[in-house]
Amino acid sequence: MTTQTAKARRNARQLKADLTRCPKRLEAAQRLRYRVFSEEYESDLGAETPGLDADAFDAVCDHLIVTDQDTGELVATTRILHQENSRAVGGFYSAGEFDLSALDNLPGTIAELGRTCVHPDYRNGATISLLWSAVADYLVERDVEYMIGCASIGMSDGGLKAWRIARHLQKEYLADPAFLVKPRRELPHLTDTRDNDRPVDVPALIRAYMRLGARVCGEPCWDPDFRCADLLVLLEVRKLAGRYSRHYMRSVP
């Protein structure tokens, strides 16, 4: 198969996004999560069931999935924990990594996005756009004013890449002081001047967050379970970047 033919077939894929709590579909999402996270972060995730990335938060989250309708394969997923459901699990997942007290007095409803991943063969604009479109619809339909989530960066090189990305994002996309939080486990600081002039390779999913209008809320956290660095990101729904809000959303309150 030529490269041109392969590209044409990828572009011709019929993808569909759904919101689900179906146990069978959730298990497929958990298998995709395990595959992506274990390969990219080189972690066994502490899985109780081999091949499944599952935790207590899954039961109270709404799960967004993207399926290739030609094959039936689940190719992307994310989960959303609405504030009203977070009490059942003791709060948001990210509260285990960051002190979120600065966000306690926000005037509006918060939802947390988590466990976002895309099958390596489907990491293109069409898949990611469809996923974010479904997220945006959810935020509007559920009257969510703020979306938070952990953006993860691999640590296979010991952390140099993570720090370069974190510093770039803090310089270009730092949230207002009212939204800054503190990590519960600070990422060990590294000093290295190599490749300082080289462009920073920000992961595609984090780039998508920033294009939507999200901002990073301070310093990165070290996640020993996933062996990665996490940055808390926050999106004010009413401030969705104009070109994305027109593309993704019917209306924004």
pLDDT at 198: 74
pLDDT at 144: 95
157 or 74: which carries more pLDDT confidence? Answer: 74
Residue 225 belongs to domain with CATH number: 3.40.630.30
Does 93 map to a domain? yes
Kindly indicate the confidence band of residue 185, based on its pLDDT and cuts at 50, 70 and 90.
Answer: very high
Total domains in the chain come to 1
| Average pLDDT value for residue range 90-103 | 97
Tens digits of residue pLDDT in 222-244: 998 888 899 999 999 988 755 45
Kindly indicate the confidence band of residue 2, based on its pLDDT and cuts at 50, 70 and 90.
Answer: very low
| Average pLDDT value for residue range 189-215 | 79
Does 253 map to a domain? no
pLDDT at 79: 98
pLDDT at 11: 53
Give CA–CA dist 246/218, Å, rounded: 29
Does 237 map to a domain? yes
Does 174 map to a domain? yes
pLDDT at 248: 55
| Average pLDDT value for residue range 84-88 | 95
Domain span holding position 158? 3-248
Tens digits of residue pLDDT in 30-84: 999 999 988 887 776 777 888 899 999 999 999 999 999 999 999 999 999 999 9
Tens digits of residue pLDDT in 74-84: 999 999 999 99
Does 238 map to a domain? yes
